[in-house]
Structure 1
Amino acid sequence: MNRPPHPSQARPHRQRGRFGLGALVALLVLAGGLAMAWWLMSQPPRVERRPAPAPVPPLVEAISVMPRAAAPALHGFGRVVAERESRLASRVAGRLEAFAPGVVPGRVVEAGAPLAHLDDADLGLALREAEAALAQAEAALAMEQGEQQRARAEYQSFGRELPAERRALVLREPQLRSAQADVERARAARDRARLDLARATLTAPWAGMVQARLLGEGSEVGSGTELLHLVDVSRFWVQASLPGEALAWLVPASEEASGSAVTLTSRGWPAGSEREGELLSVLPALEENGLQVQLLVAVEDPLALAEAQRGAPALRLGDVVRLEFQAGEREDLIALPAAALRPGDEVWVLDEEERLRRRPVSVLHRDDHQVLVAEGLETGERVITSPLGQPREGMALRTAASSAERPAGAAPAEPRP
């Protein structure tokens, strides 16, 4: 009789069947996942494409140009020098007794005023000796004239004509000429002694200011020894330098007309103070360092001594001043800010379609603030003053009102769309 299998013997068979089915399901799920992943990876993502937004044109500032009469602003710096100065020297030897009252450095002396006195005792004696010698020579001449009259009377009584040479000897003509020469020599010695005595007092050749005393009282001086340093204060010069192209705008003084006006200022003067000068001449030599032309500016009454200049600041020798030259204007010029000029002497212009156009121009003058253009621009054209990183011919731009075009105190205009 067959017995049924024990439950413990049938359990392994059921477990093996259960494990086989689960592994199959897992493999199916894994394969499905791999297939889905491969499909997803093989299909490119679908993104909705939109048209790119149009680039916004750069915002720039522009000014409208208008030809007019214009002149450059010419300025420079110069040093004050004396137009005329002299170191006065004694023309005779002697002891310096004293300087005249008021002859002090910084004081003004008038033309012909006495400045210093030398001991003139010896010079006075020399004059007396010269006068005595002159009197003696004149007496000898008078005696010789009497002898000549006597000789002429004897010759006429002789009644005979002699040759010219013998007649001159008989009439004592050589002796007369010698006596006359002695008188002239003595008279010249007298005049020289009188002149030396007058030169013992040193006088001012022209009105000026005493710059310095070069010797002290009691010093022994010889002919040519310098005693005083005198400076003419009626006019000073200012020597300045400018680029050579500035000469086309300036006019030096001539006998017929005055030179270009010049305004002088200095840091050492009170605020708002200034003096007026005149362009006197252009020096022939260039400045050594910058190879610029050197100009000479004249300033009348530099120390403001005259009544008309009272209260004006004084120019001092050696001072450095700033000069503003009044240049002559020229018609039909276009003045642009310095930033509007591009490399290669060209400007950028906005056309009617708000696009950039390059324009070469003829420049008459340029400096750090202004450019004067003679040709290349038309009336009413708009010149770009703003910088651009990558400018291109025909590139679109937007404009904003320039501060030069806005009324004073107005707010900036909104950019054009």
Structure 2
Amino acid sequence: MPRHAAAPRAPHRSCFHARQRGRLTLGPLLALLVLAGGLFLAWWLISQPPRVERRAPAEAPPPLVDVVTAHQRAAAPSLHGFGRVQAEREAHLSSRIAGQLLEFAPNTLPGMVVEAGTPLALMDDTDLRLALRDAEAGLAQAQAQLAMERGEQQRAQSEYQSFGRDLPADRRALVLREPQLRVAEAEVERATTARDRARLDLQRTTLTAPWRGMVQSRLLGAGSEVSNGTELLHLVDVTRFWVRVSLPGEALGWLDTATDDAPGSQVTISSRSWPAGHERLGELIAVLPTLEENGLQAQLLVAVDDPLGLELGSPALRLGDMARLDFAARPREGLFVLPVAALRPGDEIWVLDDEDRLRRRQVTVLHRGDERVLIEEGLEEDQRIVISQLGQPREGMRLRARVADSERPAGANRGHDS
């Protein structure tokens, strides 16, 4: 009985082992399927490119440029230059006689102003006074001889009349002592000339100023022995100085030189040595026939009255000073005045039309200055002129206009351009 009861358990173990083997086979298969699916999904995600939504590029705004408005009016260029101050008239006064220089007058010092006719230096006149006395004595003797000869002629005239007969003209002249009378008259004339020369030499012992001037230097000392023509003093006329200045030749068409009927162009003169704001006025008097050597520019002479300010107390214009000269040019009608930045190479101007597009215009330039240009032809009234720089300017390109600061009213704020 016990053996028969234990026999039915064997089939139950084999079914259990069979189910265990089935579970072990299905698990790895599922794991492999999940791994393969993950790898496939990763490959698919990597292989698909990202989708970027492409939009049309935004249109760049037109460049912003400064503009000025063209207006026709009467205008003249700003003409200026630098020139050296020189004397209009100066003299090296010399002795006209030989002798000893006794002394200079007390006011004959360098830097002193002397009036015309003022004594400046005195020469020793002892010998010349003696020469004058001798010349006066010689004149008195010649006059006495003439008087005696006239008495002899009267006596000869009486004798000839008592002779009662006419003689030929040549013999009658001898009888009446006419040759002797002419000799006596000539001796008086010669003696008079000698007296006048001696008197003039005596006057020349005092050296006087020929005109109002300033003593520049004394060339000799008192006590020096001088000969005829020895220079004693250097004198400069203080009534007027000249300033020699160079300007381009085209500037002459804007200026007027002085004539007998009309004054020359007015010139404003300034110097670095003067206090700030001080100026002097001059007048253009001449254009020299030669050009300046280095720049081949025209040379002009400007006259300045009372240059040392002795009359009006103005700043002194010294000889050799380098002064700035600003000329009042003669204006011309119908010109366009633009900033120098408006002029492009080749005498071209950029104009902004009614549609805010760039247009090129060829113009006729009458004057090119440091800050302004004067245009005669090629523009129209109220045209907008571009003064800004552009990297790649093209005909017809669209721009945005902004009024330049030079044309904006005082205190106006700059608005935002759209």
> TM-score, normalising length from structure 1?
0.88
Aligned equivalent of 1:3:
none
More displaced 10-residue stretch of structure 1: 163-172 or 378-387: 163-172
Q: Which runs of 5+ in 1 are unaligned?
A: 1-17
Equivalent of 1:76, from 74, 81, 87? Answer: 81
Residue 171 of structure 1: CA displacement? 1.5
Once the two structures are superposed, the pairs formed by residues 133-172 of structure 1 within 5 Å of their partners are 133-172=138-177
Contact 1:400-1:414 at 8 Å conserved across structures? no
Alignment of 1:245-394 (within 5 A): 245-306=250-311, 309-310=312-313, 312-394=314-396
The aligned residue for residue 239 of structure 1 is 244
Measure how far apart 1:52 and its partner are.
Answer: 2.4
Displacement of 1:412: 2.2
Q: Distance in 2 between matches of 1:135 and 1:406?
A: 94
Q: Which amino acid is 1:192 matched to?
A: R
Alpha-carbon shift at residue 401 of structure 1 (Å): 2.2
Computing the radius of gyration over CA atoms, which structure comes out larger, 1 or 2? Answer: 2
**1:347-375 superposed Cα distances (whole Å, 9 cap, x missing partner):** 00000111100011111111110001111
Name the structure 2 match of 1:9.
none
Partner of 1:51: 56
- Aligned letter for 1:320? M
Distance in 2 between residues matched to 1:133 and 1:109, nearest whole Å = 39
| RMSD across aligned positions (CA) | 2.5
Aligned-partner Cα distance in 1 for 2:317–2:415:
49
> Deviation of residue 158 (structure 1)?
2.0
Please tell me the residue identity of whatever aligns with 1:124. Answer: R
**How far apart in 2 are the matches of 1:389 and 1:413?**
24
Q: How many residues align?
A: 389
**For residues 279 and 298 of structure 2, what CA distance do their matches in structure 1 show?**
24
Identity score, percent: 66
Q: Contact 1:241 / 1:287 at 8 angstroms: preserved in 2?
A: yes
Q: Secondary structure at the match of 2:302?
A: strand
Which secondary structure does the structure 2 equivalent of 1:413 belong to? coil
2:231 counterpart of 1:202: no
Runs of 4+ displaced beyond 6 Å: 43-46
Aligned-pair distance for 1:191? 0.2
Once the 2 structures are TM-superposed, how far is the Cα of residue 44 of structure 1 from its aligned partner?
A: 8.4
1:211 aligns with 2:216: yes
Q: Confirm whether residue 124 of structure 1 aligns to residue 129 of structure 2.
A: yes
* Residue 160 of structure 1: how far off its partner (Å): 2.1
CA contact (8 A) 1:80 1:315 kept: yes
How far does residue 346 in structure 1 lie from its aligned partner after superposition? Answer: 1.1
- Tell me if structure 2 keeps the 8 A contact 1:281–1:297: yes
- Are the counterparts in 2 of residues 111 and 205 from structure 1 also a CA contact under 8 Å? yes
Give, as a single letter, the amino acid of the residue that structure 2 aligns with 1:396: R
Q: Tell me the residue number matched to 2:398.
A: 396
Distance in structure 1 (CA, Å) of the matches to 2:272 and 2:161: 93
Partner of 1:12: none
Residue 197 of structure 2: aligned partner: 192
Q: 2:195 and 2:392 mapped to 1: Cα distance?
A: 93
Deviations 1:1-42 (A, max 9, x none): xxxxxxxxxxxxxxxxx9xxx9xx9xxx8xx98xx79x95xx
> Structure 2 CA distance, aligned partners of 1:404 and 1:302?
38
- Rounded to whole Å, the distance in 1 between the matches of 2:415 and 2:275 is 41
Q: Give the whole-Å Cα distance in 1 for the aligned partners of 2:408 and 2:209.
A: 63
Structure 1 window deviating more from structure 2 (406-415 vs 293-302): it is 406-415
Q: Describe the superposition over 1:45-80 as per-residue Cα deviations: whole angstroms up to 9, x where unpaired.
A: 865443222222111100111111111111111111
Structure 2 Cα separation of the partners of residues 221 and 397 of structure 1? 85
Residue of structure 2 in register with 1:413 after alignment: 415
In 2, the alpha carbon distance for the partners of 1:45 and 1:168 equals: 149
The equivalent residue for 1:176 is 181
Which residue does the alignment assign to 1:100?
105
Structure 2 spans left out of the alignment, 5+ residues: 1-24
Residue pair 1:333, 1:374 contacting (<8 A) in 2 also: yes
Cα distance between partner residues in 1 of 2:392 and 2:177: 111
Distance 1:260 1:150 in 2: 77
SS of corresponding position for 1:51: coil
Task: Report what 2:12 is aligned to.
Answer: none
Say if 1:349 and 1:358, in contact at 8 Å, map to a contact too: yes
- How far the C-alpha of 1:378 sits from its partner, in A, is 1.0
Partner of 2:22: none
Alignment partner, residue 13 of structure 1:
none
Name the SS for the 1:240 alignment partner: strand
Give the conservation status (yes or no) of the 8 Å contact 1:401–1:413: no
Q: Which amino acid aligns with 2:169?
A: A
CA distance in 1, matches of 2:220, 2:290: 37
Q: Please identify, of 128-137 and 323-332, the stretch whose mean Cα deviation from structure 2 is larger.
A: 323-332
Counterpart in the other structure of 1:5: none
Amino acid at match of 1:363: V
Offset of residue 146 of structure 1: 1.3
